[in-house]
Chain A
Amino acid sequence: MAAETPRFTEARINRDLLGPLFKTSAIYYVTTGFLLLVAMVVFVAWGLQLKYGIGMAGKNRPSYWGLYITTFVFWIGISHAGTLISAILRVVQAEWRRPITRCAEAITTFALVTGSLFPLIHLGRAWLFYWMIPFPNSRHLWPNFQSPLMWDFIAINTYLTGSVTYLYLPMIPDMAVARDKSTGWRQPMYRTLALGWRGTEREWVRLEKAISIMALVIIPVAVSVHTIVSWDFAMTVMPMWHSTIFGPYFVVGAIFSGIAALLIAMVMIRKYFKLEHYLQPVHFDNLAKMLLTMSLLWFYFTFTEYLVTWYGNEPAEMTVFWSKISGRYAPMFWLMVICNFIIPFPVLAIKKLRTIPLIFMASCGILVGMWLERFLIIVPTLVHPYLPYNYGHYWPSYTEMAIAGGTLGFFVLMYFLFAKFSPMISIWEYEEGLQVASKHRGELPDPTFVGQIAPGDVHPGH
């Protein structure tokens, strides 16, 4: 924890954390160029699909949804890394959150942007998507608020608005630092984004208040968003979709994959930006314990879901059930169990194995496993409708694979660009953390550090 942190002055922290903004390596340009190409694939493929028709995707009757909705749910799940985890840690005042919050909140924002592409991409007539926006129109027709898709629309917009706000508020003082340290074309940009922030006492009091209100608001919103995503399935009458535990099951899965994504991002940031002093093993260790908890919860929910189905022995449900356990989808199902539980459980539970490289590998596996989980929820049910005459099959087309896979590049590209634009660790919160830590230790940090508080200055309430 902060106890092992070398004592840094503000000037050093500014230099370290703003460094990646102003110094760009050749590797960065190459990687970004590659990611740009991958992201272009998404839009070229989407363009072709718009031109020739949604039939370019491999969907059919009865599998009307497929890779797009799977990947949509996956990205919305990833988005639960940031805002939710950062908000929970803020609310409980976990001090170790400080170097984590920014990279977590950025994941949320960009995962949401990526995820919300999919409901557009998957539409048969994507150019008419605005018919879902409630506004008075010449057709005199409002959207149907009884549809779970409308709940999705409203909830995701609320979450996106909240997440962007929640990302931006703690960024304002950092934008001011960037403004004061940058030159050239960047300076007007940071000047605008800093909104004229000066760091006065009035400003700090209100900013911290606003952030704590946002943290309280965003937690229930995040929970509701993934619950509502699960209701796209649970509201139907289809076998193995119509389940009351889908809400919490999806929320747990979302946080599970979200923490895994966050850990992967943190390992990358730590390595590429040389922030080993800031992102310490303790941060990975604490998050890995949270990841372990989510793995156990995920297993619990999955076990419950399948046990209830099996015991109920309802024919339509059992068809779907056996197709997953021992039928066509069994390899995917068991790979999912391995990735989500059998590997992560020992790796995260045994202290000796809980090292950064192994955590990283377990997290990558969990992302694969959680993607499979969404696929296995969506497709086996669709291809086994009630009337056996209509059993079908589904295999994604190249267009679909290009779009679904390409959005990974799209997401990483946005995240990469963001890392060049904003410090990935909140500067002022990190400094505040040193201040708090020094107070807890009852000792004085580096003398040039403002956080050094004379004994008479310490408020007994802190």
Chain B
Amino acid sequence: MPSWGMTVDTDRCTGCEACVVACHAENNLPTVGPEQAAMGRTHQWIRVERYWEGEFPNIKAKFMPVMCQQCDAAPCEPVCPVNATYHTPDGLNAQVYNRCVGTRFCANNCPYTVRFFTWFTPSWDSPMNEQLNPDVSIRTSGIMEKCTFCVQRIRRAQDTAKDEKRAVKDGEIKPACAQACPAKVIVFGDLSDEDSEVSKLSRSNRGRRLLEELGTRPRVVYLSGGGA
């Protein structure tokens, strides 16, 4: 059984937000318009958080892409009354759209604030409706959604590998964000394979996990410092 994980090298991140755009295209994320966006109702399964370090003029912008951390002890999972979110055996924090009744408890209990709610039935102006990804369902109004590690790509690669009677190769699966990143910030792969790139990177002493003091056991490792 694979165990999916990700590393994010914040030292490499330029804050270009290509990952954000790629995620919108891949996962059929609705764009809500300026008014709703101002209310805080955007859908950004991945976002680039910008923090300033130091005081002007010796100031430095730090960028940190944040997506669902797919925690092994995810606080969002047990609070759902209808089992709409649970942990898959390969370590994904699954969100089952058609089970969700919209209590939004999961989002309240997510310390990373990476769950997104569909407040209104989404729509895409023509010709944007022509670019929707057929592999990803469109979410209706009133349900919760979040980063899936591009589960549609994971499952497709697994199916292809199965058809060709081989194992999934390291690097074969690339989530949209990792694929779009020009600076190679994001690396995705199987943590149970000790030789995979993500495995090696996650063991690096540059690694730390976001808010790991809360005991959520996140599956995303952030790399920074150490002169890389």
Contact A58 B83 (CB under 8 A): no
Interface SS majority for chain A: loop
Q: Which A residues are within 8 Å of any B CB, using their own CB?
A: 52-55, 58-65, 119, 122-126, 128-129, 131-132, 141-144, 146-150, 153, 232, 235-238, 382, 385-390, 392-393
Contact A236 B79 (CB under 8 A): yes
CB distance from A267 to the nearest CB of B (A): 38
Task: Specify which chain A residues have a CB less than 8 angstroms from the CB of B119 in the assembled complex.
Answer: 53-55, 59-60
Pick from B41, B66, B111: contact of A238, CB below 8 A: B111
Complex Cα spacing A53 to B50, Å: 32
Complex Cα spacing A392 to B117, Å: 15
Q: 8 Å CB contacts to A: which residues of B124-175?
A: 140-144
Known: A148-B79, A149-B105. 20 other contacts (CB 8 A): A52-B120, A53-B119, A53-B121, A55-B36, A64-B107, A122-B103, A123-B142, A124-B102, A124-B103, A125-B100, A126-B101, A126-B102, A131-B99, A144-B82, A148-B105, A235-B109, A237-B75, A386-B113, A387-B112, A388-B51
CB distance from B103 to the nearest CB of A (A): 6
CB distance from B130 to the nearest CB of A (A): 24
Task: Specify which chain B residues have a CB less than 8 angstroms from the CB of A238 in the assembled complex.
Answer: 108-109, 111
Contact A131 B79 (CB under 8 A): no
Complex Cα spacing A243 to B175, Å: 38
Q: A146-B78, A236-B108 are in contact. Are A124 and B101 (CB under 8 A)?
A: yes
Q: Which B residues are within 8 Å of any A CB, using their own CB?
A: 36, 39-42, 47, 49-51, 66, 75, 78-83, 99-105, 107-109, 111-113, 115-121, 140-144, 210-211, 214, 216
Q: A53-B141, A147-B79 are in contact. Are A141 and B102 (CB under 8 A)?
A: no
Q: A55-B119, A125-B101 are in contact. Are A393 and B40 (CB under 8 A)?
A: yes
Contact B39 A236 (CB under 8 A): no
Task: Specify which chain B residues have a CB less than 8 angstroms from the CB of A129 in the assembled complex.
Answer: 101
Q: List the 6 shortest-distance A-B pairs measured between CB atoms, nearest first.
A: A124-B102, A124-B142, A55-B119, A60-B40, A64-B104, A389-B49
Pick from A63, A143, A153, A390: contact of B83, CB below 8 A: A143
Contact B40 A143 (CB under 8 A): no
Contact B113 A62 (CB under 8 A): yes
Q: A53-B141, A386-B111 are in contact. Are A149 and B50 (CB under 8 A)?
A: no
Interface centre among B79, B99, B115, by most chain A C-beta atoms within 10 angstroms, is B79
Task: Specify which chain B residues have a CB less than 8 angstroms from the CB of A64 in the assembled complex.
Answer: 104, 107-108, 117
Contact B117 A141 (CB under 8 A): no
CB distance from A441 to the nearest CB of B (A): 56
Task: Specify which chain B residues have a CB less than 8 angstroms from the CB of A54 in the assembled complex.
Answer: 102, 117, 119, 141-142
Contact B116 A61 (CB under 8 A): yes
Contact B41 A144 (CB under 8 A): no
Contact A61 B100 (CB under 8 A): no
Pick from A125, A131, A147, A388: contact of B142, CB below 8 A: A125
Complex Cα spacing A64 to B41, Å: 10
Q: Which residue of A lies closest to B37 (CB)?
A: A60
CB distance from A388 to the nearest CB of B (A): 8
